[in-house]
Structure 1
Amino acid sequence: MRQQTRSWNIQRQTPASLLELSKQYNAILRGWWNYYGAFYKTVMRKVFSHFDLKLQRWARQKYKPLAGHKRRSVDWLNRMKKACPSLFVHWHVYGNEFRLGNGSRMS
C-alpha cells in the first residue's frame, strides 16, 4: 500500500486542489480501510500516516509560504483536518490531529 501511495507522486500534483486529491484517492483509501481495517488497524494507521506525510509534502510544493517548513505544513494539514474532517476517510476514522512516529500529537 505504501508503494502504491509512493507511485501516485502526490507531491507533483500541485495544480490539483485538496478537494480534487480527495476525489481521486478517497475511494482507494476507503477500500483499503474496509478490507484491511477490520484486522490490521495499526498497520492502517501507519499507511494513513504515510499518506498524510505525502499531503504535507504536496502542500510544501504547492504553497510557497510552506516551502521548506515542515512544521508549518503539519499545522496546515491539521487545520484542514479540523475544517473538513470528512474530506478523507482516515481523517474521519482516526481523528483530526497528525501524530508523530513516537505517538505524540501535534496540534
Structure 2
Amino acid sequence: MFTSFMPAISRDALKKIGAQVRSWRLHQRTNQSFADLARKINPVVRGWMNYYGAFYRSALYPLLTRINAYLMRWVRKKYRRLKGRRKAQQAWQGVTERYPRFFAHWTWVNTGPAVW
C-alpha cells in the first residue's frame, strides 16, 4: 500500500526549466552589468522558487547551483583579472556576503559552483 507522497518538481518540469536557463546564455552577456542580469532573471527564478519550492525546496538546489555556475562563468569572462579559479571564488564569496539578496536564488543557494 502506498502511504506517502513527496510533492516536488517533476523531472519534465526540471528539464523544461533547465532548457530555459540555458537559453538565457547568461555567460555570454558580458556587455550587461550584474544588475541587468539580476533584473532579467530574478522575477522568473523567484516565481519558480515560490511555485516549485513551496514544499520540497531542496529539489531545486541543483538548478539554482547551475544558475550560479552560469553567473560565475559570466564573471570570469567579463572581468579578465578573475579568470583564475581561486580569484573568482574569492570575488564570488565577497559579493554574496555583501549582497546576499542581489539574486533571488541566493537566499537558498549562494555558494560558488563546484564545477564550471
Q: Give me the TM-score of the superposition, normalised by structure 1.
A: 0.82
Structure 2 Cα separation of the partners of residues 65 and 99 of structure 1: 19
Q: Structure 1: which amino acid aligns with 2:112?
A: F
Deviations, residues 53-102 of structure 1 (Å, cap 9, x unaligned): 000000111001122x23322222221111111111121234x433648x
Q: 2:111 aligns with which of 94, 97, 105?
A: 97
Q: 1:19 aligns with which of 27, 31, 35?
A: 35
**Does residue 81 of structure 1 match 2:67?**
no
Percent of residue pairs identical: 31
Task: Out of 19-28 and 36-45, give the one that drifted further.
Answer: 36-45
Contact in 1 for aligned 2:69/2:112 (Cα 8 Å): no
Q: 1:70 aligns with which of 85, 90, 93?
A: 85
RMSD: 1.7
Structure 1 Cα separation of the partners of residues 113 and 36 of structure 2: 24
CA shift in 2, pair 1:99/1:56, >3 Å: closer
Q: Which ranges of structure 1 fall in alignment gaps of 5 or more residues?
A: 102-107
Structure showing greater Rg: 2
Q: 1:4 aligns with which of 20, 23, 28?
A: 20
Q: Structure 1: which amino acid aligns with 2:69?
A: L
